[in-house]
Each structure stands twice: as C-alpha cells, then as structure tokens.
Amino acid sequence: MASSPSRAGRGRLFVISGPSGAGKGTVVQKLLQRRPEIVLSVSVTTRPARQAERNGVHYTFISEPEFKGMRDRGDLLESAEVYGNYYGTPRPPVEAALAAGKDVICELDIQGAESIKRAKPEAILVFIEPPSMEDLHSRLRNRGTETPGDMSTRIDAAYAEMKRKALYDHIVINDRLDDAVAEMLRILER
Ligand code: ADP
Ligand code: 5GP
C-alpha cells in the first residue's frame, strides 16, 4: 500500500461533502466497515434527530445556546449554518486522533470544507455526487426523512453545491455504491 509522509506522524484529514441525498453517509459507513481504524468525526448539530439516528453516533444533538457556547469558546474546528440549522466539528477529538497518527473523516458542507482548507491546507477534500439530479430527487424521496419543504431546500442547495465542486481534490460519482466505495479506498490509499 502506498504511504504518504503524514502516515508516519500525524494522521490525514479527509473532508467529504456533496449534496444532501448523494449518499455521503452510506458511502462513509461502507468505507468504515472496510477501514475500521479510520476515525469518523461526530459533528454537533441543532437539527432534530431523524428516527434512525442515535445521539453521539450520527451526531451529537444539542440546543442552539449549547452550540453557540461551544463555538464561542473555540471548541469547534469549523461551524456553519446549513439548511437552517447549525452544524459544527468538535475540535478536541479531531486534533487528538490526528496527533495519534490516525486518519480522520469529517462529513461537512461546502462552507465547512472551505474553512478546513483554510485552517489545514493539507486536508484532502472529496466531493461525492449523484449520477444525476433525477437520482438525487429519488434518493431523497426514498429516504423519506425530510418534509417536502425541507426536501426542496436541499434540492435547491444541491444545484449551487454542484457548481462549486472544483474546490475539491477528488470527485466521486456515487452511481453503484460498491464502485464509489472502491474509489474512496483508492483515494485513501494514495
Ligand atoms: P447523504 O448522506 O449524502 O445525505 P445518504 O447516505 O443518506 O445521503 O443517502 C441518501 C439515500 O440514497 C439513502 O436512502 C441511501 O440508502 C440511498 N443511496 C445511497 N447510495 C446509493 C446508491 N449508490 N444507489 C442507490 N441509492 C443510494
Ligand atoms: P444532514 O442534516 O443531512 O445530516 O446534513 C446537512 C448538511 O450538513 C450536509 O451537507 C452535511 O455534510 C453537513 N454537515 C454535517 N455536519 C457538519 C459539520 O460539522 N459542519 C459543517 N460545516 N457541515 C456539516
């Protein structure tokens, strides 16, 4: 396996972004089954939990005052308002994992990816996109976790997000899930 210089010392930070419904969460979960040593950053958010989501696993669900407290104390590596809710990356677990030589994955929106790239230019940015906007619609519809209003906010944002994918080091099209996971493994092994 190829190794990058950072492997010997600090771990590498991978940022995954892409439109809501592109399959980021699904790809990352499959990837972690193959590479369980990778640390997945658990974000904090003020959005309500979806039915299948567990506190501390998918996100840590917190109130807006708690979020603002963390942000103002500098406890977040980056934070952003996305689709009307606040999201942020707790700093200490990411810094500790990187210092211990572990690779870390953060799933962030584009604002988060930009902030991380400014703070840590060595971060590797990966954009996951759906094969088509029709697929994105049907994936979001099938997931069935958003109200029609929230779904159309996410679809509208997707068009803007797709225009900014040039910011990223790698673009992965999530058509067949196994192919997308294989592509992610190749990126990790560079
Ligand atoms: P995101 O994290 O980007 O919002 P999800 O991982 O929640 O997206 O995926 C959105 C929906 O699309 C889910 O219902 C998921 O099961 C489905 N999905 C993910 N990847 C694929 C794929 N390659 N082909 C078909 N459906 C997929
Ligand atoms: P969702 O509500 O679908 O879980 O996530 C909505 C968006 O917020 C996605 O684009 C996701 O990548 C992004 N996101 C999740 N956690 C964070 C975070 O900690 N920071 C930022 N900037 N975006 C996040």
Q: Tell which one of 15, 20, 24, 26 to mutate to probe ligand 1, the residue whose CB is within 8 A of the most ligand atoms.
A: 26
Q: What's the predicted TM-score (pTM) here?
A: 0.94
Domain with residues 13-188, CATH architecture? 3-Layer(aba) Sandwich (3.40)
Phi and psi at residue 70, to the nearest 5°: -60, -45
Token pair belonging to 81:
């308002």
The verdict on the CB of residue 120 being under 6 Å from ligand 2 is no
* Beta strands in 18-108, from DSSP E residues, in sequence order: 39-40, 44-45, 60-61, 76-82, 85-90, 104-107
Q: Which ligand is nearest to the CA of 146?
A: 2
Ligand located closest to 26 CA: 1
**pLDDT per residue as tens, the chain (190 positions):** 444 444 557 999 999 999 999 999 999 999 999 999 999 999 999 999 998 899 999 999 999 999 999 999 999 999 999 989 999 999 999 999 999 999 999 999 999 999 999 999 999 999 999 999 999 999 999 999 899 999 999 999 999 999 999 999 999 999 999 999 999 999 999 8
Cβ-based burial of 162 (10 A; exposed 0-12, middle 13-18, buried ≥19):
middle
Q: Is residue 115 in contact with ligand 2, taking CB distance under 6 Å?
A: no
Side-chain half-sphere CA neighbours of 5 within 13 A: 1
Could you tell me the distance, in angstroms and rounded to a whole number, from the CA of residue 151 to the centre of ligand 1? 14
Residue spans per domain, the chain: 13-188
Ligand 1 neighbourhood includes 137 CB (under 6 angstroms): no
Identify the nearest ligand to the CA of 40 by its number.
2
